[in-house]
Structure 1
Amino acid sequence: MAVPFNIQVYFYIFFAILYSAGTHNKKRNADIINNLLQQPGWKNINDVKHIKYRTKDIYPNEIINKPVTLYNCNNYVRHGSIFLGCSYTQDLNVMFFTLYNFYEHCFKLLKSDKVRAHKCTVTLLAKIIDIVPMAKLMEGALNAIEQCHNKPMNIQRKHCVILSDVLTYLKENEHLKKLIPLSIDKDSINAALFKIQKYISRMKLELEENVRFCELISLDLFSLWNLWNMEFNTLNFQGIYQELFIFLSDKINDLILTIICKKYIELGFKFDLNTCQTFLPTPQSNDNQDTTQNPINMIQYATEVNAMKKIVQEYIIQYKNSINLVQPTNEVDKQDGIKKDDVMCEAKDDSNLQIEYTDNMRPYYEFI
Structure 2
Amino acid sequence: MFSLKFVKFSFLLFYVILYTKADTTSIKAIDQLDKILKYPGWKNLNDVHFIKYYDINHYLQNQIQTPTKFYKCGQKIRVLTIYLGCTYAKVMVNLFTVINNVLINGSIYIEELINIIAILIVPIATFMKSAMDALDLLHNKPWATFKKNYKYHYMISPLLERIGNILDKLNDPGILYNYRSTKFCTFDIVNIFSKSIINDLQYETEPFCEFVLYDKNELWNKWIQEYNAIINQGVKLIFFTFLTIKIKDYIKTVTIEKYFQLGFKFDPITGETFVPTREELIELELEFKAIDQEPPTSIQIENH
TM range (shorter): 0.7 to 0.9
Map 1:239-318; keep pairs closer than 5 Å: 240=235, 242-284=237-279, 300=286, 302-303=288-289, 309-311=295-297, 313=298, 315-317=299-301
2:161 matches 1:168: yes
What is the SS of the residue equivalent to 1:149? Answer: coil
Cα contact 1:47–1:217 (8 A) shared by 2? yes
Distance, in Å, in 2 between the alignment partners of 1:134 and 1:128 is 10
> What's the counterpart of residue 227 of structure 1?
222
**Cα shift readout 1:313-360 (whole Å, capped 9, x = no counterpart):** 1x423xx26xxx3xxxxxxxxxxxxxxxxxxxxxxxxxxxxxxxxxxx
**Cα shift readout 1:263-287 (whole Å, capped 9, x = no counterpart):** 10000000000000001111149xx
Where in structure 1 are there 5+ consecutive unaligned residues? 1-22, 110-116, 180-186, 286-295, 326-368
Distance, in Å, in 2 between the alignment partners of 1:297 and 1:43 is 21
Cα contact 1:142–1:161 (8 A) shared by 2? no
Structure 1 stretches (4+) deviating beyond 6 angstroms?
296-299
Which amino acid counterpart does residue 241 of structure 2 have in structure 1? I
| Residues 241, 204 of structure 1: alpha-carbon distance in 2 compared, 3 angstrom cutoff | farther
What is the SS of the residue equivalent to 1:209? Answer: helix
Distance, in Å, in 2 between the alignment partners of 1:264 and 1:167 is 15
What is the SS of the residue equivalent to 2:43? Answer: helix
> What's the counterpart of residue 133 of structure 2?
143
Pick the aligned partner of 1:199 from 169, 193, 198.
Answer: 193
TM-score by length of 2: 0.79
Map 1:198-217; keep pairs closer than 5 Å: 198-211=192-205, 212-217=207-212
Cα contact 1:52–1:214 (8 A) shared by 2? yes
Identity in percent = 30
Distance, in Å, in 1 between the alignment partners of 2:293 and 2:172 is 35
Question: 1:235 Cα deviation (Å)?
Answer: 1.7
Question: 1:189 Cα deviation (Å)?
Answer: 5.8
> What's the counterpart of residue 83 of structure 2?
83
**Cα shift readout 1:240-283 (whole Å, capped 9, x = no counterpart):** 55322222222221221121111100000000000000011111
Identify the range of structure 1 (247-256 vs 72-81) with the bigger mean alpha-carbon deviation. 247-256
Map 1:110-129; keep pairs closer than 5 Å: 117=108, 120-129=109-118
Cα contact 1:265–1:305 (8 A) shared by 2? no
Aligned length: 270
Distance, in Å, in 1 between the alignment partners of 2:291 and 2:52 is 30
Which amino acid counterpart does residue 126 of structure 1 have in structure 2? N
Cα contact 2:288–2:294 (8 A) shared by 1? no
2:53 matches 1:32: no
Cα contact 1:270–1:308 (8 A) shared by 2? no
Cα contact 1:136–1:171 (8 A) shared by 2? yes
Question: 1:193 Cα deviation (Å)?
Answer: 1.3
| Residues 178, 129 of structure 1: alpha-carbon distance in 2 compared, 3 angstrom cutoff | farther
> What's the counterpart of residue 98 of structure 2?
98
Question: 1:198 Cα deviation (Å)?
Answer: 0.8
> What's the counterpart of residue 11 of structure 1?
none
Which amino acid counterpart does residue 70 of structure 1 have in structure 2? F
> What's the counterpart of residue 73 of structure 1?
73
Cα contact 2:94–2:219 (8 A) shared by 1? no
Higher-RCO chain (CA-CA 8 Å, sequence separation at least 6): 2
| Residues 299, 151 of structure 1: alpha-carbon distance in 2 compared, 3 angstrom cutoff | closer
Question: 1:196 Cα deviation (Å)?
Answer: 1.0
| Residues 142, 241 of structure 1: alpha-carbon distance in 2 compared, 3 angstrom cutoff | farther
Where in structure 2 are there 5+ consecutive unaligned residues? 1-21, 174-180
